[in-house]
Structures are given as C-alpha cells and as structure tokens.
Amino acid sequence: MAQPADTDQITQLNAARNLVLSDAAFYPQIVNGILPIVGANTRLELRRWGADFLAETFASPVLAVAQKEQLAPNVLQTIRDILELPEKDTAVLQSLVQTSASLYPLVFRHIVNHPDDSKTWETMNAIKQVIFRQMDSFPCPVRICCAKFLQRVVQVQTPGLISDPRRPEQNETSLAVVPRSHALLSIPNLEAESSGLLDRLLGVFQEEISDALLVNATLNCLAPLIRTRQSIANKIVNAVLEFYPSKHVRPPFTPTVRVSVKSMERTARALLINILKRNPNHPMSGKMQMYIERLMQSRLEAPDDASRKRGLPNEPTDGLDNAKRARLNALTPPMLKIPPMAPGPASFDKLFTITEDIGLSSFDVKQLPFDLVLKIVVPLLTQVHDSTLTQATEAIRTRLQTITKEQNMQRQHQQQAAAAADDDDDYEPEYQPMDAASTISEEASAVAAEVADLQPDLVSLGPFVLPQPPPLTEEEAAEIGRAAVARVFGMLNAAESDPPPAKNQQKLGFARLAGSTFDRDAWTVLLARLATRAPAGLEDDNASKTDSAGRRQSTIAESIRETLYRYILEDFRGRLNIAIIWLNEEWYNDRIKMRSAANQRAGSEEETQPTVSLHYDTWVIRLLDGFLAYLDSRDIKVLVRFLSEVPEITIPITQRVASLAKDPERVNLCVQALMYLVMFRIPAREMCLNTIEDVYKTYEESQPAARKVLMKWRPDSAVLATANGEESSVAPSQPDTLPTSAAE
C-alpha cells in the first residue's frame, strides 16, 4: 500500500477491516500487510488502530486456529517492539495485552508441536516478562487486562483434562499436552511459574483496600479456571470464600464505595452460583452456600445503612455550617482544664490546686482578713457556672481516690512485710492522737511524710495471689452439678437440631468409640456414664454411713437419670435410641459393681457386707411404664426394638408387656412382641412363653393370636389342651406378620 495522507490511511485501514469482517479468508494477507504500517515508531492513531485490530483478529471466532498460529510469530515481534519502546498510551497497551492473552495459548501449542522454534518462544517470553514486570505500574485499564493475561497463562500452564489421548489436536491447550522430554518447555518450571502467578492473581483478594474494578475483573475470569483446572480449583474457591468485600473498604461510605461493595458482592455471588450450577455436588457446596448467605446478610448491615429511612443528618465536619455549630457551642459548658496533680509527695494544697498559675497557687489566703474572704467568695460562688463547679469537684474527687488507693496498697504491703519480718515484740501502734486544732498544713505534712516513707514500696509490687475461694456448701455443689448436667443436655438438644450427617457415612458399630464424634449419640453416652459410672462406688459407701450424705450423692446421679427419663419420654419414638444406650450403660454398670462387690466379699468375710444398689431394673420398668400407655397398635416396631435391644429381659418386663393385652386394640401388639422375643431372644424364651400362656388364659381376645404361637413353640401346653375343644372353629386369623427386624 502507498503512504497517503493520515486520515486517508485510517480510512483505508478501516476498509481493510471491513473486508476481513465480511470474509475471514483475507486475514493472513491483511494482517501481514498492516504490520509494517502500525508497528513501533508510527503515529499514535495508527498504533491504536493496529493494536485494536490485532486484538480483534486473534480473538475472532471466525479465524481458524491454524491460521492464527501461522500469523503469530510475525505479530509477536511487532508487539514486542511496541512494548519495549516503551509504549505509553493506555489504549494501545490495553489492546496489546489483550492480544497477548489471546496469543499465549496459540503460541504455547505451537511450541509444543515445534520444539525447534525457540525464537518464537523467546519473543513470547519477552512479552510475558514485560507485562509481568510493569503490571503494577500500568494504568488501571491495562492492569485489568493484565489480570486477564495472568489468568490465561495460569490456565495454559496448569494440567488440564485430556479428553482423548488418541487425538492430541482435539485436546485443550494445557500443561497436560506437553511431552515430558520437550526441548523448550520444562514442565516443573512452567508449573512452578503458574503457581506463583496464580498467587499473584488471587492476591487481589488480600489487599486491604480493594479496587472494585480489579476484584470484579478477577472474579469474572476465574470461572473457566475453576471449571477446567481441577488441581487449583479448591485453592481459588477458598480464596474467594475468604473475601468479604465490605471488610475491604475504608469507612467514609460514599455512594461510589457503596456501588463498589455491592458490585463485588454480587459478582462473588454470581461466580459461586455459576460453580454450584455446574456441579451441585461440589465438595465445597456447603461452604459456598453459607458464604452466599453471609454475603446477603452483610449486605443488609454494612455500608448500606444509607438506605434506611432516617440516617444521621449529614453534618459538616469542617465546621462550615456555622449556624448550627454556634448553637451547639452555647449549650456545651466551657471545659475546665485540669492539670495533673503536681509531682512529689501529695499534700492537701496540692490536692486542691487546679490552677497552673504559680503566683496564685503560692498565695497564702490566711493573710486576708476573714470577712474580706467572705465578701469575695459568696458573690463568686453565685457566679460560678454549675458545670464548672461539678467538673472541678469531680477532678478533686478522682485525685483523692487515686491517692487513697495508692496509700491503701502501700499500707497493705507494709503490713505484709511487717508480719513476715517481725514478731509483735516491738509493735507500736501508729496512733497519733488527733489534735482537734491541728491545722491543715500540719496534717498535710504528716500525709506527705507518710507517703514519702512508703514511696519505694510502690515501685516494686509483689506477686498477687488470689485468695482461695470459700469451700462450696453441699447445696451449692449440687446446684453447680445440676447446672453442668443441664448444659450437657443443652448440647444434646443442639446436636439434635443440626442437620443429620451425610447418610453415606459408615456406621461404626462395635468399632466405634463412645464420644469420638460430637453428635447426639456421643453426648448421650457421656450423660449416661456421668449418671452411672461417675458416682459408682461413692453412693454405696455413703449410703451405708450417713443417710443425708447418701441422699446428696445420689441426687446428682439421680437427677441426671430423672432428666434423661423425662427427656426420652418427651418423644420416646424418636429417642428410643438414647433409652437403649442409657439402659445398656446402667446394666453394664450394675454388672461391674456386682462383680467388685463379690470380690470384696470374698476378700473380707465377716465385715460389713457391701451392698450394691442396682438401677437397671428400676429404670427399665419406669421407662416401659412411661411409654406403654402411649403405644398405639401400630407401634410394633418401637416396642420390638426396645425389647430386643435392652440388655436384659426380666419377668416384670414381660408382665408389663402382657398387660397390653388388656386393651383389645393392642392385643396383637402384645402377642407379636412376645413372639419376637420367643423367636429371637433365646434366653428369655421360656419366660415369654409362660407369659403368653398367662395372656392366653386371662384375655380372651388374645386367644387366636396366642394360640398360634403356643401351637408352634409349646404344642404340649396345658392351656392349649383345655382350650382346644371350644376353639375348633376359630378363623385362622390374619397371616402372621412377623416383625421382621428392629427397624431404625
């Protein structure tokens, strides 16, 4: 092309651009044609146009990647030349950095496939270094584009996904496509560099004062990184999660600052929502949700308070608004300037002197005749401002208080020292008979003398030991114990309201440790053991010795039991689990105590027989009684679970169960529960069969169901024989629906 006038040149260039926009096939020709025209050392207009055009060219989705790759080396050299001028114009820089960001993946790929083209790689690296070196000194718009360039480089230099190893040309450009033995690209170096660059990119979230532009620009370009680069995704998400925009602004909340904060918050939210939408099962989804909620909340609180209806009136701080200021001034009394007390030993005159005028303070009032003083003082007092007087008296009062405090402390020290050092031999009470007529100055000097004596002690304060608290009374101890228990129960409730942990978490069964996880069960175990094992051994001894002591001891344990009992009954269906944990603990504790009692008995034959108070039987019956009344006919699973999982079945228990048969509605419940015990709880089988016989005899409604059980398990039962005759035509009733398992 020729070199016509300036405007003509731009017009021509625009025509060329329009040509390639309508037909991308002309790109190679045009790009190579314009490079010398718009290169370094040309006019600003031309450089701007050229930079814009290059940015557009390498971003264009219509120009094939292969062609861009072909054009890249020439263009790179031009960019490098312009950047190293150095270029000053923001618009040119902006476009060139954009172009570089588009070029980087292309060049990287080109180098992967052409390890011998070291010149191109060297040029690219030079551009990269210029950008990174000057990034922080560039004007803001260029810095934004630099952040984008950073993101591009990180994306390229981090291993990505290999979608199809057989067709390398289809894979996305990333570190993963670099062969291990590449001549120019060393994988560890590139990776290290990109990790550093990522830190630099994310550093924007740690600035004390955030630049909304840069933060938004960064947030908005992170999505592709998080999506396609697994290895760094978590790091990025964490950096975002620790960023709270409202904490990164300085207090004067101007509308501009508010716009910035809001935009950062909304952008951060948009980013997280974008991630969550792509992958709802993201491992950090919980944290992200919480962050989003917290953002919403902080938005209501923080700098948005201007939106509330009546904010503080906007008062000028520079005192320009004199009308208002004046009135405020009239209302506030003049502040009295009170100097600190003069140094040296304290005396009354020093105490009461609040003027700094030496002449005034050394003036002896006693020289004046009494009535003259009166004449001066009385009118003066009427004129003194109220608040001035109060201020003065307050000042004197605080001075006096500090002095007395110091003196008390000194006296204490002295006494301690005296007590430690000496006996009472040469004890002389420091009693000075008060002279009624003693003048102020005398007393003042006495005080001063005392203070002077004690001065050195003041400097070296000895260690202070808190006195032992008074021992707790029994009631107090019990009260505190109960409070502690109440707190643990509080934890139980809190743990309950938590969302249930992930279902897929494996149940540990026997392998678990009590209290290893801080969930509800752990707290239950803790409580049960607190009730059972902690006081074990104590209560029995005490019970045998003194009645009152025994009662006290048991109250803590008993109150835990009582509370547990009530807690379970509040919702026995849901808290059956707790009941079972507790009863097992009780039973185990009873066993242990019995064993140790037996040992003692074996050791000492004749002495006081140690008695063991057993709790399991009492509490299992109480619990059963507590909820039996509320069981309805469909609660078979609850009852069976309870009966099968409590550690021991006793006759009283079976009797309680049998009593269910009184209610015609719950006959089946009773029989089925017993049948379950017969089938699966072998040690209790005989006991239960006996109970079923009783039920059969006592309650007529139970006969059809009970008969079947007896026929199967005790065909030779006497009750059956007597009943057989009359009951021949009983319908086979419903098929036995066995409670299959102790369901959850």
Partner 1 sequence: MAYDPRRPNSGTSTPQPTPPPPPPPPAPAAAETTEMATALEEAKPADEAGTTDSYKLKFCTVCASNNNRSMEAHLQLSGAPTAYPVISFGTGSLVRLPGPSITQPNVYSFNTTSYNQMYEELNSKDERLYRGNGILNMLDRNRHLKWGPERFQDWVPGMPRVDHLSKGDKGAIGTEGGVVDVIITCEERCWDAVVDDLMNKGSALNHPVHVFNVDIKDNHEEALTGGKAILDLANRLNEAAVAEHRVHGSAGWENGTGPARQSFDEKVPEILADWQEKYPHLPALWTLAWL
**Interface residue list for partner 1 (CB under 8 A):** 7, 10-12, 14-19, 21-23, 44-45, 55-56, 59-62, 88-91, 98, 101-102, 139-141, 144-145, 148-149, 152, 212-213, 216-217, 219-221, 223-224, 254-256, 258-260, 262-263, 266-267, 270-271, 273-274, 277
Based on CB atoms, which residue is closest to partner 1, 30 or 409? Answer: 30
What Cα–Cα distance (Å) separates residue 549 from each residue in 299, 473, 539, 554, 563? 59, 12, 8, 9, 21
Length of the chain: 744
**How far apart are alpha carbons 37 and 564 in whole angstroms?**
89
Based on CB atoms, which residue is closest to partner 1, 60 or 195? Answer: 60
Query: Which stretches of 114-254 are DSSP H helices?
Result: 118-134, 140-156, 187-202, 212-228, 230-241
Q: What minimum distance in Å lies between the beta carbon of 208 and partner 1?
A: 18
Q: What minimum distance in Å lies between the beta carbon of 221 and partner 1?
A: 5
744: exposed, middle or buried (Cβ count in 10 Å: 0-12, 13-18, 19+): exposed
Based on CB atoms, which residue is closest to partner 1, 223 or 488? Answer: 223
Based on CB atoms, which residue is closest to partner 1, 91 or 538? Answer: 91
Positive or negative CA dihedral for 5, 11, 14, 19?
Answer: negative
Q: For residues 361-382, b (16+ Cβ closer than 10 Å) or e, as one string?
A: eeeeeeeeeeeeeeeeeeeeee
Query: Is residue 699 within 8 Å of residue 661, measured between CB atoms?
Result: yes
- Using H for helix, E for strand and C for coil, what is the string for 322-356? HHHHHHHHHHCCCCCCCCCCCCCCCCHHHHHCCCC
Q: What minimum distance in Å lies between the beta carbon of 60 and partner 1?
A: 5
Q: What minimum distance in Å lies between the beta carbon of 276 and partner 1?
A: 11
Sequence-separated (6 or more) residues with CB below 8 Å from residue 110: 69, 72, 117, 120
Positive or negative CA dihedral for 440, 446, 450, 452?
Answer: positive
Query: Is residue 68 within 8 Å of residue 28, measured between CB atoms?
Result: no
Q: Which amino acid does the sequence have at 188?
A: P
Q: Which amino acid does the sequence have at 382?
A: T
In the block, residue with structure tokens 């060297």: 122
Based on CB atoms, which residue is closest to partner 1, 21 or 458? Answer: 21
Based on CB atoms, which residue is closest to partner 1, 155 or 554? Answer: 155
Q: What minimum distance in Å lies between the beta carbon of 350 and partner 1?
A: 57
Q: What minimum distance in Å lies between the beta carbon of 226 and partner 1?
A: 9
Based on CB atoms, which residue is closest to partner 1, 260 or 584? Answer: 260
Q: What minimum distance in Å lies between the beta carbon of 36 and partner 1?
A: 18
Based on CB atoms, which residue is closest to partner 1, 216 or 553? Answer: 216
Q: What minimum distance in Å lies between the beta carbon of 315 and partner 1?
A: 19
Sequence-separated (6 or more) residues with CB below 8 Å from residue 385: 333, 334
* 207 φ, ψ (degrees, to nearest 5): -60, 145
What Cα–Cα distance (Å) separates residue 602 from each residue in 108, 243, 539, 544? 87, 70, 21, 19
Measured in Å, how far apart are the chain's first and last C-alpha atoms? 86
Q: What minimum distance in Å lies between the beta carbon of 202 and partner 1?
A: 17
Based on CB atoms, which residue is closest to partner 1, 267 or 347? Answer: 267
Q: What minimum distance in Å lies between the beta carbon of 30 and partner 1?
A: 10
Based on CB atoms, which residue is closest to partner 1, 55 or 557? Answer: 55
**How far apart are alpha carbons 582 and 527 in whole angstroms?**
8
Based on CB atoms, which residue is closest to partner 1, 88 or 166? Answer: 88
Q: Is-cis flag, bond preceding 735, omega within 30?
A: no
- The tokens for 497 are 């309201």
Based on CB atoms, which residue is closest to partner 1, 104 or 699? Answer: 104
DSSP 3-state of 571? coil
Of 289, 216, 205, residue with least CA distance to 240: 205
DSSP line for 523-554: HHHHHHHHHHTTTTTHHHHHHHH-HHHHHHHH
Q: What minimum distance in Å lies between the beta carbon of 22 and partner 1?
A: 5
Q: What minimum distance in Å lies between the beta carbon of 490 and partner 1?
A: 41
Q: What minimum distance in Å lies between the beta carbon of 34 and partner 1?
A: 13
Based on CB atoms, which residue is closest to partner 1, 46 or 638? Answer: 46
- Using H for helix, E for strand and C for coil, what is the string for 349-403? HHHHCCCCCHHHHCCCHHHCCHHHHHHHHHHHHHHCCHHHHHHHHHHHHHHHHHH
Query: Is residue 590 within 8 Å of residue 616, measured between CB atoms?
Result: yes
Q: What minimum distance in Å lies between the beta carbon of 619 and partner 1?
A: 58
Based on CB atoms, which residue is closest to partner 1, 55 or 530? Answer: 55
Of 205, 279, 212, residue with least CA distance to 236: 205
Based on CB atoms, which residue is closest to partner 1, 23 or 453? Answer: 23
Based on CB atoms, which residue is closest to partner 1, 154 or 219? Answer: 219
Based on CB atoms, which residue is closest to partner 1, 101 or 556? Answer: 101
Q: What minimum distance in Å lies between the beta carbon of 131 and partner 1?
A: 12
Q: What minimum distance in Å lies between the beta carbon of 188 and partner 1?
A: 27
Query: Is residue 529 within 8 Å of residue 514, measured between CB atoms?
Result: yes
Q: Which amino acid does the sequence have at 674?
A: L
**How far apart are alpha carbons 347 and 708 in whole angstroms?**
106
Q: What minimum distance in Å lies between the beta carbon of 283 and partner 1?
A: 20
Sequence-separated (6 or more) residues with CB below 8 Å from residue 615: 532, 561, 586, 589, 590
Q: What minimum distance in Å lies between the beta carbon of 26 and partner 1?
A: 8
Q: For residues 74-106, b (16+ Cβ closer than 10 Å) or e, as one string?
A: ebbbbbbebbeeebebeebbbbbbbbbbbbbbb
Sequence-separated (6 or more) residues with CB below 8 Å from residue 738: 672, 675, 676, 679
Based on CB atoms, which residue is closest to partner 1, 42 or 596? Answer: 42
